[in-house]
Amino acid sequence: EAGSHTAGDALEKKGKHDKVDVTISISGSTASCSIPTLAFPSISTADFQFDLEKASDIIVEQVEEYIGRIGEAKLVMVDLSHGSKILSLVKTKAAKKNIDSNKFSTFVGDITQLRSCGGLSCNVIANPTNWEIKPGGGGVNAAVFKAAGFVLEVATKERAEKLAAGECVVVPLPSSSPWFGAEGVTHVIHVLGPNMNPKRPNCLKDDYTKGCKILREAYSSLFEGFASIVK
């Protein structure tokens, strides 16, 4: 089957009735720390309420476009739960395309503990953030800033104070960050996706023409950012 880790898959099947979010420990992962790997969650589909079917089409399309441009490097899409609808949509759609399953896979686990709890080494982590690239707010953003510590805030501010929807900023993680030693993370790429949640700023009010365009830009700038690190 295209796009999955063998070990992760077995566990995914085993745990498919799990009700809550779990972090999984696997042994025998095929991951290797020497190969640059980007771990990314689904941008905009939780707090920002973007449609899952549309998002999964865009993810697969963008992965297909970029997978040939990153050399040996790998992409891993991550979500917290075995029941993740977006992860299963992407897996199903990716399997129908000609995407090398050694280079693109899905993984269930906490994106801040992929190596320590999941046995998966990813040196670059994508963070779907907010306009001001501020810590907190929940989801991946809160978890990433917490795991990486204050040095990530400082390093981020040196590079960008704000993002427009569809943009990203690549931030090298200082080696003094606890995340650097514990997880082997060398870079964080903050990326701002389109917002469909009326309770958050700049809501697109169901304008999926704009929303899809921005989500596509968000993934393409994320993957370009990763490619720039790999080179």
| Residues whose CB is less than 8 angstroms from the CB of residue 122 and which lie 6 or more positions away in sequence, other chains included | 31, 37, 38, 39, 76, 114, 115, 183, 184, 185
Cα–Cα distance measured from residue 193 to residue 50, given in angstroms and rounded to the nearest whole number: 9
Query: In this structure, are residues 114 and 121 in contact, taking their beta carbons and an 8 Å threshold?
Result: yes
Provide the mask over 115-154, with x wherever binding to ligand AR6 is found by CB under 6 A and - wherever it is not: -------------xxx------xxxxx-x-----------
* Cα dihedral 11, 35, 46, 155 sign: positive
Q: Is 112 in the site for ligand AR6 (CB under 6 A)?
A: yes
Q: Is 56 in the site for ligand AR6 (CB under 6 A)?
A: no
Which of 24, 55, 99, 111 touches ligand AR6 (CB under 6 A)? 111
Cα–Cα distance measured from residue 121 to residue 5, given in angstroms and rounded to the nearest whole number: 13
By C-beta, is 9 or 110 nearer to ligand AR6? 110
Closest CA to 75 of 55, 94, 96: 94
* Counts of helices then strands in the chain (DSSP H, E): 8, 6
Q: Which stretch binds ligand AR6 (CB under 6 A): 77-85, 97-105, 118-126, 178-186?
A: 77-85
Q: Is 217 in the site for ligand AR6 (CB under 6 A)?
A: no
Which of 9, 47, 183, 217 touches ligand AR6 (CB under 6 A)? 47
Distance of closest approach, residue 140 Cβ to ligand AR6, in angstroms: 4
| Residues whose CB is less than 8 angstroms from the CB of residue 230 and which lie 6 or more positions away in sequence, other chains included | 36, 70, 71, 73
Count of residues of this chain found to bind ligand AR6 when the rule CB under 6 A is applied: 26
Which of 9, 12, 110, 183 touches ligand AR6 (CB under 6 A)? 110
Q: Quickly tell me which residue has 């299963």 as its tokens.
A: 88
Which of 7, 75, 76, 78 touches ligand AR6 (CB under 6 A)? 78
Residues 151-190 that bind ligand AR6 (CB under 6 A): none
The site for ligand AR6 (CB under 6 A) is made up of 41-48, 78-80, 86, 110-112, 128-130, 137-141, 143, 193, 200
